[in-house]
Structure 1
Amino acid sequence: MSSDRVIPGLAARATTVAAARSLGAELYYPHELTPLARPERFHFTAVAARLGAVTAGLLSYSSSIRIDTEPYLTSFQMNVPLRGQLRTSVGERRVDATRARAAVYGPDVPTAISGWEQPCVMLAVKMDRALVEARVAAERGPGSAERFAPELDVHAGAGAAWIASVRMLIATVQRVPDLDEGLAEHLAGRCIDGFVLAALGREPEPRAPAADAAIVDRVREAIVYTRGPALTLGAMADYAGVCGRSVQLAFREVLGTTPMRVQREERLRRVRAELNAGDPRCDTVAAVARRHGFLHLGRFSGLYRERFGEAPSCTLAGSGRAGATAHG
């Protein structure tokens, strides 16, 4: 993992218009930012999650402003004021966005945010155009390009559920700023899925898990989608937003096991899949095991044999025989 990669979590404050413009451009798009009043003390704050295909942030301006941007071209954008009212336009259509009604900006029409008369807190979500359109095609079939309505009801139903999930996403990234890249990619995809389903009027499946089940679901999500080093109990707890003891008790209650055992099983499964697909002339069991967090080779070999009934070296050797047969 490169040391100069973008850290997903960001919380920043700007106290001049120029600094606010620069910060907004870093997170979203180049734009013109014009105060509509002469505030004695101007400030802009951003609390954001940057996940590659998705940027979601809570943005707060201390005074009324106007924002002008070019068409987004490569992205879809959704803005909803959590406090105040936002006057904006999507192409020729004027939208008065409120807490219950979001403004949706497509990539192929000019847009403008005319500002608001009072200080506002806005939830702004930027989503990769190609991924959004691919998700629409998956939902409606190939060639079904969709031009979304410029307004999205976020008061109830799928829209409200999506907004709640986006706010949870931002809170999660703030708790875990150095988020694993695989998990970040999963969360971005889930955000796009939720937006498309809401914009197409699909209702989410009803789901109200008990507290323990919800904790287990969140931690298992982290375990499955994390690609880097194995998670500590503390990292699992941070992701779920609870303490480590709560994670342990939830796993014991719901699954009758520990989170570390569940993670170990997931990592063993990954090792076996890689050994089965490997080449014994190029790969080694030790290298594959280390990639998945097993640093003590003897202990790993015992766990592997216990789980799969054979030594990991046999799995790798078997992949070589299968490859030779396939190319023979």
Structure 2
Amino acid sequence: MDCRLLNEKSRVFHNADPYAVSDYVNQHVGSHCIRLPQSGRPEASLSHRTFGSLDLCRISYGGSVRVTSPALETIYHLQILLQGHCLWRGRGEEHYFTPGELLLINPDDPVDLTYSGDCEKFIVKLPATFLDRACSENHWRRPVDGIRFGARHDLRQLDGFVNLLGLVCEEAESAQPLAQVQEQYARIIATKLLGLLANNVGREELGESCRSFERIAQYIEDNLKQDIGLQQLAEVVRMSPRSLYALFERNAGTTPKHYIRSKKLEKVHACLIDPTAKVRNVTEVALDYGFLHLGRFSESYKSTFGELPSDTLRRRES
């Protein structure tokens, strides 16, 4: 498989204790537990880069390790087999993944994987909010219960996708990474996944309903620092509040209030990860986007992005 998917520049562990590698993965890539073979001493290796809102990881445990997790909750895991094989068990099915195959784990999917001794993987951690945003930007219909992908995919049928990931890794390992470029790449990955992989998103042709939603989405984007009310939005597209709720349900799978709140959170997150943005502290940015109850804001932020806003800002400054 493609050797450009992270190299020695991103090496964090080499021939290390698998439990130390597992602890690192829990902090940066996704919550899980590992079970090692009863005999032998596997030596694990891991490369890792944070890339905007994504985490890129190349990992091998060096032994027949079982990896389990009840669910990933707010993230999707895109896993590409580079070598060896991996037994996946999910929802009454089993499959041995081999090089050239892609496993996509949804946020609410239980994880049950057994690595072969020579198994090596490349993993992309993608926040659910990025896929929701891609749906909105492309005017696709997001299912009310969330976006779901099939688990198994053949990389040969995903035109140019591995090359895209190779470019992302090169950018992640560049000497002068640009936050704006990283976020654009992340958005492209989300859109490519929705466009190439089997999923439950509706992609009907753009109709009058979608055009109305497009106008509202742009209005919200242009006025995110304002207190946007329901009546205000209804006047933008000249419809009743009841019809407005139906419009959001069809095109975003949520309510106007929740949609606006999500967009505000995304803007705060973009500010906190952008090293070129002038940010003195989290409170200032939160208040700027109308989050007056800072405790509730921090809870919503962590639920959406998997970490506290102060942790995001701290990572940017480190």
TM-score norm. by structure 1 comes to: 0.52
Q: What's 2:25 paired with? A: 24
**Counterparts of 2:161 and 2:24 in 1: how far apart (Å)?**
26
From 187, 193, 196, the equivalent of 1:195 is: 193
**Counterparts of 1:143 and 1:21 in 2: how far apart (Å)?**
33
Q: Give the superposition deviation at 1:183.
A: 2.0
**Structure 1 residues 140 and 92, CA, compared in 2 at 3 Å: closer, same or farther?**
farther
Q: Give the superposition deviation at 1:82.
A: 0.8
Q: What's 1:142 paired with? A: 141
Q: What's 1:172 paired with? A: 171
**Structure 1 residues 182 and 196, CA, compared in 2 at 3 Å: closer, same or farther?**
same
Q: Give the superposition deviation at 1:154.
A: 0.7
Question: Is 2:130 aligned against 1:131?
Answer: yes
**Counterparts of 1:74 and 1:38 in 2: how far apart (Å)?**
35
**Counterparts of 1:58 and 1:32 in 2: how far apart (Å)?**
17
Q: What's 1:184 paired with? A: 182
TM-score norm. by structure 2 comes to: 0.54
Q: What's 2:78 paired with? A: 78
Flag the structure with more relative contact order, 1 or 2, with Cα contacts below 8 A and sequence separation at least 6: 2
**Counterparts of 1:57 and 1:87 in 2: how far apart (Å)?**
19
Q: Is the 8 A contact 1:16 1:43 kept in 2?
A: yes
Structure 2: where are the runs of 5+ without partners?
1-8, 200-275, 278-318
Q: What's 2:37 paired with? A: 36
Q: Give the superposition deviation at 1:84.
A: 0.9
**Counterparts of 1:112 and 1:142 in 2: how far apart (Å)?**
30
Q: What's 2:113 paired with? A: 113
Q: Give the superposition deviation at 1:97.
A: 1.6
Q: Give the superposition deviation at 1:107.
A: 0.8
**Structure 1 residues 166 and 188, CA, compared in 2 at 3 Å: closer, same or farther?**
same
Amino acid of the residue matched to residue 193 of structure 2? F
**Structure 1 residues 172 and 134, CA, compared in 2 at 3 Å: closer, same or farther?**
closer
Moved segments of 4+, more than 6 Å = none
Amino acid of the residue matched to residue 80 of structure 1? I
Amino acid of the residue matched to residue 114 of structure 1? T
**Counterparts of 1:136 and 1:49 in 2: how far apart (Å)?**
26
Q: What's 1:97 paired with? A: 97
**Counterparts of 2:95 and 2:28 in 1: how far apart (Å)?**
23
Residues matched between the structures, number = 190
**Counterparts of 1:60 and 1:175 in 2: how far apart (Å)?**
24
Q: Is the 8 A contact 2:56 2:123 kept in 1?
A: yes
**Counterparts of 2:185 and 2:61 in 1: how far apart (Å)?**
27
Q: Is the 8 A contact 1:131 1:192 kept in 2?
A: yes
**Counterparts of 2:39 and 2:191 in 1: how far apart (Å)?**
41
**Structure 1 residues 140 and 183, CA, compared in 2 at 3 Å: closer, same or farther?**
closer
Question: Is 2:150 aligned against 1:152?
Answer: no
Q: Give the superposition deviation at 1:74.
A: 0.4
**Structure 1 residues 136 and 16, CA, compared in 2 at 3 Å: closer, same or farther?**
same
Deviations 1:230-272 (A, max 9, x none): xxxxxxxxxxxxxxxxxxxxxxxxxxxxxxxxxxxxxxxxxxx
2:156 partner SS: coil
1:175 partner SS: coil
**Structure 1 residues 157 and 188, CA, compared in 2 at 3 Å: closer, same or farther?**
closer
Deviations 1:110-165 (A, max 9, x none): 2211222x21110111111121133235446234454211111212343xx21222
**Structure 1 residues 141 and 194, CA, compared in 2 at 3 Å: closer, same or farther?**
closer
Identity within the alignment, % = 12
**Counterparts of 1:39 and 1:143 in 2: how far apart (Å)?**
47
Q: Give the superposition deviation at 1:184.
A: 2.0
**Counterparts of 1:166 and 1:37 in 2: how far apart (Å)?**
36
Q: Give the superposition deviation at 1:37.
A: 5.1
**Counterparts of 2:136 and 2:181 in 1: how far apart (Å)?**
24
Deviations 1:190-247 (A, max 9, x none): 222222222149xxxxxxxxxxxxxxxxxxxxxxxxxxxxxxxxxxxxxxxxxxxxxx
Q: Is the 8 A contact 1:49 1:169 kept in 2?
A: no
Question: Is 2:183 aligned against 1:163?
Answer: no
**Counterparts of 1:60 and 1:34 in 2: how far apart (Å)?**
14
Q: Is the 8 A contact 1:88 1:112 kept in 2?
A: yes
Q: What's 1:64 paired with? A: 64
**Counterparts of 2:89 and 2:132 in 1: how far apart (Å)?**
22
**Counterparts of 1:22 and 1:90 in 2: how far apart (Å)?**
24
Q: What's 2:205 paired with? A: none
**Counterparts of 2:50 and 2:62 in 1: how far apart (Å)?**
23
